[in-house]
Amino acid sequence: MAQTTDSIWGGAASVGISVNGSSWTDIVSHGMKVSPEGGDRRVGEAYVFDDENPIVKVGKLNSRSTRVDFVYTETATDAFEVVRAQFEAAGGGTMYVRWSPAGGGVGDAGYTSDAGFVSDLRYPDVDSEADGPIVLFFVVHHAALTRALIATAW
């Protein structure tokens, strides 16, 4: 089989966050990495007396977490302040994450979380010997992800 020529370079991705699922904050200028996790299907099994092997059944999907790594800034509309406000909100605020590996153009695949909450936010640490920018991450815990082709460019 011939090697693919349709690979996607992740360095040109589009990444956004939202507190309502309709108005999005673009974080590509300081977003670094999106790592979706979880969503595996639950499995149940039972053993009976007269067989060596279990009876195996599949169940529902587990929830997901999406981790976003980003460069720390102190601009009110950048990722840290938007996410921090939701993380610190009484009872936990709502947060959505979306990304497009190919850049968010018309026809590109886009992945969007449903409504979730910020389950983890790292606050800035400082190191007198560090040479690079401060890098943090946050995690949004949500039930599902949706993949769709983008109709209007992000």
CATH number for the domain that contains residue 32: 2.40.30.200
In a domain, 66, yes or no: yes
Encode burial over 96-131: b for 16+ CB neighbours within 10 A, e otherwise. Answer: bbbbbbbbbeeebebbbbeebbbeebeeeeeeeeee
Range of the domain at 67: 12-149
What is the H or E stretch that residue 4 is in?
none
In a domain, 3, yes or no: no
In a domain, 50, yes or no: yes
In a domain, 2, yes or no: no
In a domain, 143, yes or no: yes
pLDDT, tens digit, 9 for 90 and up, residues 74-91: 999 999 999 999 999 998
In this structure, what are the phi and psi dihedrals at residue 128, rounded to the nearest 5 degrees? Answer: -65, -15
The pLDDT > 90 percentage for the chain reads: 91
Total structural domains within the chain: 1
- Given this model, what pLDDT does residue 51 score? 96
